[in-house]
A and B are shown apart, each in its own frame.
Chain A
Amino acid sequence: GQNIDQPTEMTATEGAIVQINCTYQTSGFNGLFWYQQHAGEAPTFLSYNVLDGLEEKGRFSSFLSRSKGYSYLLLKELQMKDSASYLCAVMDSNYQLIWGAGTKLIIKP
C-alpha cells in the first residue's frame, strides 16, 4: 500500500531551526510537496521536489532523497507565525497526491 510517515507533533523555540522529516512508500513518484496549514484554513504551498537535493526558498528549505524515500522540511529563524501543521504529500504514478497526516509544529517564545 501507499504510505506517508511524518511525526505527529514537534516543538521548537522562536529563532531556532527545526527539521520535519517525511518518509514515503508510493506506487510511482512524480514529486513531493510540502504544504503549510494553519488551523481552520486550507493548505498553502511551500515547496516541490522532484530531483534529489536541497531546494532553498528563504527561511524554508526542502530536501529529497528518492533512493531513500525520504524528505525533510527545514525551517530557519523560526517565528511565532510558523506555528501550523506541515503536510508532506507525494504525487504518485497516477498524478494523484498521497497525503501524510501532517506534523503540528508548536513554536514557543
Chain B
Amino acid sequence: GAVVSQHPSRVICKSGTSVKIECRSLDFQATTMFWYRQFPKKSLMLMATSNEGSKATYEQGVEKDKFLINHASLTLSTLTVTSAHPEDSSFYICSARDLALSYNEQFFGPGTRLTVL
C-alpha cells in the first residue's frame, strides 16, 4: 500500500515552455502533498506544501508564479513549471502524507527529471 506515482518520469523541453508534472496517490487519500527539487549530489529541498482544496504554502525563495501547484483532489496534485529556463533543470519529487497513519510518514513518488534546453 501507500504508492505514489509521478508523471512524466522524464521530460525535455525548450526554454520558455511550460511543463506540468502530476503526482498521484494510488491507494490512499493524501491530505497533504509536498513538492521537492533536488540538484545533483544535494539533499531534497522542499519547494511547497499543498493541502487538498487550499492554496499551496511556498518555501522562502520559491516563486509561486513560476511553480504553480494545484491540489484539486485527495489523490492528485500538479506542479507546473511556467516559462521554464535551463536553471529549472532538476529532479522534482513529490511526496504524499496520509494523516490516518500513525506517524505522518511521507510516501515518495519516483521523481521527474526535467531538462530545459
A interface vs B, CB < 8 Å? 30-31, 33, 35, 40-45, 48, 50, 87, 91, 95-97, 99-102, 104
Contacts and interface: CB of A to CB of B under 8 A. Distances in A.
SS of A interface (majority):
loop
B44 interface: yes
Nearest to A102: B43
Contacts of A35: 108
A57 to B, nearest CB: 14
B104 A31 contact: yes
Q: How large is the interface on B (under 10, 10 to 19, 20 to 34, 35 or more residues)?
A: 20 to 34
B43, B49, B103, B104 pick with most chain A CB within 10 angstroms: B43
Nearest to B104: A95
B105 A101 contact: no
Contact of B104 (A30, A41, A87): A30
Given A96-B46, A99-B44, A42 B104 contact: no
B93 A42 contact: yes
B95 to A, nearest CB: 8
A43 B110 contact: no
Contacts of B46: 96-97, 99
B110 A42 contact: yes
Contacts of B110: 41-42
Interface string B103-114: 111111111010
B40 to A, nearest CB: 9
A101 B38 CA distance: 10
B43 A41 contact: no
A96 B103 contact: no
Nearest to B108: A42
A95 B45 CA distance: 16
B43 A40 contact: no
A43 B44 CA distance: 9
Contacts of B93: 42-43
